[in-house]
Amino acid sequence: MKLQKLLSYTRQAVDEYEMIQEGDKIAIGISGGKDSLTLLYALTNLQKFYPKQFDLIAITVDLGYEGFDLSKIKQLCNDLGVEYHIVSTKIGEMVTGDTLEGSACSLCARLRKGALNDAAKELGCNKVAYGHHMDDVIETMMLALVYEGRFCSFWPVTFLDKTELTVIRPMIYIPEAEVKGFEHKYHLPIAKNPCPIDGSTKREYIKSLIRQLNTDNPGVKKRLFHAIKDGNLEGWSR
C-alpha cells in the first residue's frame, strides 16, 4: 500500500464519522507495532492538507519490560515533526505475577489505556487516536460473539465521560494486509512487543479462525465488516 492509498482510506473514515474538528489536539497512541506507526504516517500527512487544522502528539506507554528499544521511533517522530513522549510504567510487573493470560491481557489493556489517557490529558489533548484497522473491528466482534454471546464491536468514535477525551479510530477501513504492505514498503521501525504471552491470546485464536473462514469462503472478511458497519449497531450508524 502506498501513502496515497493510506490517506484515501484514512480520510474516508475521518470524514464519514467526523473524527476531526477544527483546533483538535490529538494524541496518537504509539505501541511500537505496525498499526500505530502506520497511523502516525497517516495523520501526519493528512495534517498537511486537511481543511480543519489540528495538532498531533505521539505517546508511548512503556510497560517496563527489558529490551523495549524506542530510539528508532523517537527518530521517526523527529523526522515527521511530531512531539513524542514516553510514559514509563511498571505495568509489566503488575500483570505477569500470578495472573493468567486471559485476565492479564485484559488488565494490561485497561492499565495501558489509563496511562495513555492520563498523559494525553496532561499534555492538553482532547482526542486520542488508536491504530485499529478493519481486521481488529472484525476480530473484536467475533470475540464478543464467541465468548460473550453479543454482536458488537468497538466504535469508530467514542467519548469517554470520565476523562472527557474522545477516542478516534481513523484506520477502520484499512485491511490488515494493506497495513503489512505499508510496513514493508516504508520500512517502519517496529519496536518488537516484549510481552511474554504475545501471540498466545484468545484474539490470536480468533484471528486464526477468521483467516481459515476467509480461506474457505473468499470475501468473508469484507462481509463480516459490512455486517457491522451496515447492521445498525450502536456507534456505527451515520
Convert the pLDDT of each residue in 163-200 to its tens digit. 999 999 999 999 999 999 999 999 999 988 777 666 55
CB 28 within 8 A of CB 57: yes
User: What confidence category does residue 97 fall into, taking pLDDT thresholds of 50, 70 and 90?
Assistant: low
How high is the pLDDT of residue 208?
94
Whether 65 shows a pLDDT value over 90: the answer reads no
Query: How far apart are the C-alpha atoms of 82 and 224, rounded to whole Å?
Result: 35
- Quote the mean pLDDT of the chain: 91
- 184-201 per-residue burial string, b: 16 or more CB within 10 A, e: under 16: eeeebbebeeebeeeeeb
CA dihedral sign of residues 107, 113, 116, 120:
negative
Q: What is the pTM of this model?
A: 0.93
**Which residue is listed with cell 505521539?**
58
Distance CA 155, CA 126 (A): 17
Average confidence (pLDDT) over 66-72: 87
pLDDT for res 104: 73
Task: Read off the pLDDT band of 106 (50, 70, 90).
Answer: confident
CATH class of this structure's domain 3-229: alpha beta
